[in-house]
Amino acid sequence: MTWNTRTTETAAAAVLSALLAAGALGLDDAPGRVLLVVGAALFLGQAARDLLLRPRLAAAPDGVDVRRLSGRLHLPWPQLRVRVRETRRLGMRTVTLELDTASGPEDDGVLVVLGRRDLGTDPAAVARQLQDLDPSG
């Protein structure tokens, strides 16, 4: 089972990048052109990141694989704790999926935090599916 950023969001970032770049070509105002080029580069970087990190999360019988810019990270089921964290800040509610391998206060382990955009769906639904797939229960 795998989870990715939605294709429509990746495509929208690429289209916005192209539109901003095209707008920069037709602009005579130098500071405005710089702002549009920076915006285009940021959206292009986001689209490239989305494409490079596919699938973002994959569950297999031996554990969970997370794609990061630094490479693939494998988290085996026996060490893995899956949690959903909900935070509120400035009136906004954010739900994230936490994948943690720390066994105690002395063990640093690994903490991976993924949001709705990374997963393409509700993090709580992904947590339920991961817990159902966990062979250790």
> Could you report the per-residue pLDDT of 50-63, keeping only the tens digit for each?
999 999 999 999 89
106 or 73: which leads in pLDDT: 73
Report pTM.
0.82
In this predicted structure, what is the pLDDT of residue 83? 95
DSSP string, 3-70: E---HHHHHHHHHHHHHHHHHHHT---HHHHHHHHHHHHHHHHHHHHHHHT-SSEEEETTEEEEEETT
27 or 42: which leads in pLDDT: 42
**pLDDT at residue 127 above 90?**
yes
Sequence ranges of the domains in the chain = 2-52, 57-133
Bridge partner list, 87 = 94
Q: Are strands 57-60 and 71-76 parallel, antiparallel or unpaired?
A: unpaired
* Exposure class string for 54-73: b at 16+ Cβ within 10 A, else e: ebbbbbeeebbbbbeeeeee
In this predicted structure, what is the pLDDT of residue 106? 67
- On whether the CB atoms of residues 64 and 75 are closer than 8 A, the answer is yes
Average pLDDT over residues 130-135: 88
**pLDDT tens profile 65-98:** 999 999 999 999 988 999 999 999 999 999 999 9
In this predicted structure, what is the pLDDT of residue 104? 65
In this predicted structure, what is the pLDDT of residue 137? 62
Bridge partner list, 123 = none
16 or 62: which leads in pLDDT: 16
Could you identify the residue written with the tokens 């970087």?
Answer: 45
In this predicted structure, what is the pLDDT of residue 109? 83
Average pLDDT over residues 7-13: 96
